[in-house]
Amino acid sequence: MKLLIISAIVASSVMGASLIDEAKTAGLKPIPANPKAIDKLTSNAKNPTTSAKVELGKMLYFDPRLSKSGLISCNTCHNLAIGGTDGMSAAIGHKWTSNPHGLSSPTVYNAVFYSQQFWDGRSPHLEDQAQGPIQAGPEMAAPKDFVTGVVNSMPGYVSMFQKAYGKDVKITFEKVADTIAVFERTLVTPSRYDDFLNGNKKALTKAEQKGLKTFIDKGCTTCHNDIALGGTMQAFGVVAPYKYMNVGDFKGDKNGMVRVPTLRNVTQTAPYFHNGQMATLSEAIKEMGRIQLGVDLRDDETASIQTFLQSLEGKKPRVIYPMLPSATLTTPKVDVVNN
């Protein structure tokens, strides 16, 4: 009996080790266990991360006064308390405007690992991406000079920019976006899945390991790979059309490619797909199998993959809601009625 138990333990250990190798061969990569290694991966050499920039970026991220209405902040659509998104099928912005293309808000958590930003991949990095929603009419609808007027009118912000960038800093719209991006680069969520790929064979349960094996064997790693388990541009509807493709007018980039969403924390980011038409994770998994892999996943296979995906729920960084600088008489006024 004792020999059988020992043999089972050894067999389980060997299976875990071989699955780790198989996952890495399939293109899956963990978030490093070493904080310094994470910093190296997430930092932008042209916009280095410092504690002063992170704190200032967090304030700007949560400040609704950067929007034309004074009501919408980055956190409105990318709510850090509920998975980094808003739970809506289409993003809602200025004057309660629904996204004109029917697009949902993707999570901001782990977006630093994407090769390109936005559903159509038009932005190369977070610094560039952060400029878009602030100015976009259906989102925050704030012109560049409005944003810089708000920030420069508040001594508290001016002081923090000087602390972060030096006393001679010129506070431009681009500098505001860069600083928000520095904060967003810290929104990384390591999980038990990462512990497993980093060598802890007991980090995942047997059911989760079975789900990972199914995930690999069915070909899900073709698109959902690397650290983000997504984040690259891929063809969409490879073998069959997505059944809700007519909801909204989004068709991808000029080549029909779509930025693959991360699967990290996917249990918290419903509804699914670019237009938020899939309410449940099991429904989304089955549809992916049908349109991307050309397979009709059985219920047990779908459940197994979903069990694995639950292990991707990561540890969120601790974010304390910031107290923002006071407005002054020179702060641009918001016309709620006309805006």
Question: Is 23-339 a CATH 1.10.760.10 domain?
Answer: yes
Catalytic residue (one of 22, 55, 139, 313): 139
Predicted confidence at residue 334, as pLDDT, reads: 82
Give the integer Cα–Cα distance in Å for 284 and 104. Answer: 15
Report helix angle 173-184 to 51-62, nearest 10.
Answer: 100
pLDDT tens for each residue of 307-322: 999 999 999 999 999 9
Q: Which amino acid is at 251?
A: K
State the Cα torsion 87-90-94-96 to the nearest 10°: -80
pLDDT tens for each residue of 2-18: 544 444 444 444 556 79
Find out whether 305 and 314 touch, Cβ atoms under 8 Å.
no
Predicted confidence at residue 316, as pLDDT, reads: 97
pLDDT tens for each residue of 107-132: 999 999 999 999 999 999 999 999 99
Give the integer Cα–Cα distance in Å for 180 and 322. Answer: 14
pTM of the model: 0.93
Find out whether 311 and 206 touch, Cβ atoms under 8 Å.
no
Average pLDDT, the chain: 94
**174 is known as an active-site residue:** no
Domain ranges of the chain: 23-339
Predicted confidence at residue 86, as pLDDT, reads: 96
